[in-house]
Chains A and B, each alone.
Chain A
Amino acid sequence: MTGAVIQLLPMAAEGEGQSNFLVPNFTFLVELAAFGLLFFLLAKYVIPPINRAMTNRQEAIRTQFAELEQARSDANAAEAEFKAQIADARHEAARIREEAREQGAQIVAELRQQGETEKARIVESGHAQISAERQQAVASLRAEVGTLATTLAGRIVGESLEDDERSTRVVDRFLADLDALESSKASSTGGAS
């Protein structure tokens, strides 16, 4: 290359109608304008759409990735929810079973309680009835035994014991004695047992 330059410099100096190719001529300005025009057209009409297209595509890819991510997290959430619901349902079923069992036990207990109460009530009413009947028997006894006894005694002693006041007193004493005897007998058997 140096050879070429050395060879060419004198040639230019000689001016053989051929200029030194290292020295620019008017072509320089033409080229300047040509490249300026090219640069302007590219910068204004070609490069911005390319940049836009690249940005849009990246944006689209980003959006799609985000959507994908969203869909995956949605699916995961749905699966988790489904599993939670299944677990809930299992819990619920277990709870219901447990509750049913408890309720059954409670019903049995209640029924048992009811039976006991009923039994106690029946027994109680039996007792009351017995006691009432006894009371009634005592009353009628009290009414009839007096008359009977006085009549009997009157016959035996031949004396009228029709004096009601006296006879009543006698009968009452007798019955009181009877009662005392009975109660003392009952308390002695109750104490023994």
Chain B
Amino acid sequence: MTFATVLPQAIGGFLAAGGGEEGGTNIEIGHHVTREWFGFTVNIDTISSTVIAGLIVLILGFVLRSRLTKADDHVPSKLQLIWEAVVSEVNRQVEDNLGKVHPYVAPLAIALFFFILFANWLELIPSKLNDDSPHLLAAPTADTNLTYALAAVTIISVWAYGIRTKGVKGYFSHFLQPFPVLLPLNILEELVKPITLALRLFGNIFAGGIMLALIGLIPIWASWAPNILWKAFDMFIGGIQAFIFSLLTVLYFAMAGAGHGEHDDEHEEADSKTPALAH
């Protein structure tokens, strides 16, 4: 209602030529279809699209698995090539940063990449013509509940990995380096990591959804061109965000396991990527 109507009105001026539908278009942003489960509110649309994205990943994975076992001639199928490209790239990143292909970190980064990728791309499926919603399924990554959950999995794993690698004392003494004065900043940084992970992904995909909604306001005879352009770009963004999320996951693991020196460098590197991509 409130925000949903403010934004279209603000840009309504230059869209007015297209002639919005009568009675005003109603773009619902940040609105979720909710249900009450055990007295708790859940966003049922996010959950359903999460299940769809997860099922796509799992079906692709298990189809591949069933074909892998048959392949004796070592000639990979196209599906296998796609999986192998991601798996070997992640393995390489993990090996470069952690020293070995860690049996927990690499699968986590791979799972994050594929899940986020397909979750992001879900919103590209168009809805019926003249439907209010700009897409058939909202990307579940445009809901902070999902991105917070992913970031929580990542950061808790990172902390556990850091403590297991360096020991409790070794890991927590890390917060007093290089100077004990920086303790608050170091703690803050550990808390900022998951929040930036979650909100970067959310912001990008959410913004993509808003753009799709705005483009949906343009009459159909004019909207196809920006729609195609934006969806192509949105696909690119979806891939980049999935890549960044899993890459940063690996880097955070590397930071938790390594000394303080490369910590700062990699954080700057990570930060420098973010604004460039979060147009």
Q: Tell me the A residues contacting B by CB distance below 8 Å.
A: 1, 4, 7-8, 11, 16, 18-19, 21-32, 34-39, 41-43, 45-47, 49-51, 53-54, 56-57, 60-61
Contact = CB atoms under 8 A, between A and B. Distances in A.
B235 interface: no
Interface residues of B, number: 57
Given A32-B153, A41-B58, A49-B65, A11 B145 contact: no
5 contacts: A35-B54, A39-B107, A47-B87, A50-B64, A54-B84
Interface of B: 1-3, 6-7, 29-32, 37, 40-43, 46-47, 50-51, 54, 57-58, 61-62, 64-65, 68-69, 71, 74, 76, 80, 83-84, 87-88, 91, 101, 104, 106-108, 110-111, 114-115, 140, 143-146, 148-150, 152-153, 203, 207
Given A1-B203, A16-B1, A30-B47, A21 B107 contact: no
Contact of B149 (A16, A19, A28): A28
Given A34-B51, A39-B107, A39-B108, A49 B42 contact: no
A26 B46 contact: no
Contact of A43 (B101, B107, B203): B107
Closest 6 CB pairs of A and B: A26-B40, A46-B61, A43-B107, A27-B145, A21-B30, A31-B149
B128 to A, nearest CB: 25
B104 to A, nearest CB: 8
A34 B58 CA distance: 12
A29 B43 CA distance: 11
